[in-house]
Amino acid sequence: MIKQFTNLIVDLDGTLIGKDQKISPRVFDAINKLKNFIDINIASGRESTGVIKYARQLKINGPQISDNGAIIIDSLTKNNIWGNFISYDNSVGISKDIKKLDLPVLATHISGTMRHLDFVPKEGFNRISIMDLYIDQANNIIDLLKNKYDIEICKVYLPYNDRWAVDLTNKGINKGHAAFELSKILGIKLSNIIAVGDSYNDISVFKVSGMAIAMGDAPDELKKIADYIAPSVDFDGLAVAIDEFILPKLR
């Protein structure tokens, strides 16, 4: 029996867009073809505004996943459909530790994005990110925080500046969990989802989806659990995956 796929969950940086922060014409055309067969949902570590920007370029309606799975937002209304927070106490403690590092930070909350952690909302933050790191810095920060806080920690490659970020969300909150919440919202099965990504924060959604596609420059940990490995974003890998692997299974 052929599995009936209903949704594509696609990563943003390094998958849908490259270093120029643009959707290439070939990828744009491939997405438009795919929309005739299944629904498409973006899942990104970026904040909601960034995800909505690209969803609207592609005229993708409905729920989109942002903040590494901490928020699901409606791309048309901009209303939060679902969200989860790092606890207030953890948010305060992490903020104090990060200030000592004197590194760029970004924290998100339903009220907006903050680049200074002087004020912590009463719910806590949805996501906290330490930005623009070298790989050794990212690994050291992960070692520092994982032994102190019971939270989700993931390093993410930033293709636009060739650096890394360390993203923090509440324990168990990641793209995979957001896919589970999305499946409940849409009334679909996780096994009917195809996931495409290129970095460590995509591992969780690969593990719960019915099919997984890794980009050519993805880490080995991601490639090992993928059903198909596409070329890198520089060679329109998402378009290749859609045209040569996904669409033949849907027609």
Cut 0.75: pTM above it: yes
Q: Is residue 213 part of a domain?
A: yes
Q: Which residue has the tokens 């500046």?
A: 161
Whether residues 229 and 187 share a domain: the answer is yes
Pick the last residue of a domain from 122, 142, 170: 170
Q: Is residue 54 part of a domain?
A: yes
Q: 238 and 114 in one domain? A: no
3-state helix vs strand vs coil in the chain, percent to 5: 35, 25, 35
182 and 73 housed in the same domain: yes
Give the residue from 201, 243, 249, 246 showing the smallest Cα distance to 27. Answer: 243
Asked whether residue 185 is domain-assigned, the answer is yes
Please tell me whether residues 177 and 246 are part of one structural domain: yes
Is 156:128 a contact under the CB 8 Å cutoff?
A: no
Residue that terminates a domain, selected from 170, 190, 215 = 170
Side-chain-side CA neighbours of residue 126 (13 Å): 26
pLDDT tens for 30-56 read 999 999 999 999 999 999 999 999 999
Task: List, for residues 139-188, the tens digit of each pLDDT value.
Answer: 999 999 999 999 999 999 998 899 999 999 999 999 999 999 999 999 99
Q: Give the Cα separation of 102 and 126 in Å (integer).
A: 21
162 and 118 belong to one structural domain: yes
Contact 105, 117 (CB under 8 A): yes
Residue 1: pLDDT above 50?
Answer: no
Tell me, what's the pLDDT at 110? 87
CA distance 12 to 32: 16
Are 119 and 139 found together in one domain? yes
Domain coverage including residue 192:
7-83+173-250
- Domain termination site, one of 122, 149, 170: 170
**13 with 73, same domain?**
yes
Q: pLDDT digit string (tens) for 112-141?
A: 899 989 999 999 999 999 999 999 999 999
Calculate what percentage of the chain has a pLDDT beyond 70: 99
What pLDDT sits at residue 76?
93
Question: pLDDT tens-digit profile of 10-33?
Answer: 999 999 999 999 999 999 999 999
User: Tokens standing for 105?
Assistant: 């930070």
Which letter, b or e, does each residue of 72-94 get, where b requires 16 or more Cβ atoms within 10 Å of its Cβ? bbbbeeeeebbbbbbbeebbebb
pLDDT, position 115: 92
**Helix 135-146 and helix 88-101, axial crossing angle in degrees, nearest 10:** 140
pLDDT in tens, 56-104: 999 999 999 999 999 999 999 999 999 999 999 999 999 999 999 999 9
Is 79 in the same domain as 31? yes
The tally of domains found in the chain comes to: 2
pLDDT of residue 3: 65
Mean pLDDT across 235-242: 98
Amino acid identity of residue 112, one-letter, is G
